[in-house]
Amino acid sequence: MMEMDVGDNELQASEMNKFILRLPCEYHAHLTEISRLNRRSMNSEITLLVERHLSDIMTRGLQSPVESLGLHPAMPQSAGKLIEKLQALSLEKKKALLALLG
């Protein structure tokens, strides 16, 4: 299962997408309680849930997250897989890879 590295919490705003998520009231209350118990922000809790779901999809051998959402990117499948692998890296590993690539 894909877990967040401590360094992932330090992503800069330019590396993150911002959007509004509408949730039923009971989900909001439940997430608030879970976040409090886990000492994480609601954003971190939601991110972790999404990461676990996407990891579960991949582990069970189902379609890639892009395919399972019905998205058809205009790039070759190999490029899409590369992007998925890059996105799964921790911030520390992303920085190391960028430094290596120069």
For the stretch 85-99, pLDDT in tens is 888 888 888 888 888
Same domain, 30 and 56: yes
More confident residue, 79 or 13: 79
Same domain, 24 and 57: yes
| DSSP structure class, residue 22 | -
Q: Domain range for residue 33?
A: 20-62
pTM beyond 0.75: no
In a domain, 53, yes or no: yes
Same domain, 83 and 58: no
Q: How far is CA 3 from CA 44, 78, 89, in A?
A: 12, 24, 10
Q: Nearest to residue 46, comparing CAs of 75, 70, 17?
A: 17
What is the average pLDDT score of the chain? Answer: 77
The confidence score (pLDDT) of residue 63 equals 57
In a domain, 12, yes or no: no
In a domain, 49, yes or no: yes
The confidence score (pLDDT) of residue 41 equals 92
Q: How confident is the model at residue 39 (pLDDT cuts 50, 70, 90)?
A: very high
Amino acid at 89: L
Cα 72-43-37 angle, rounded to 5 deg:
135
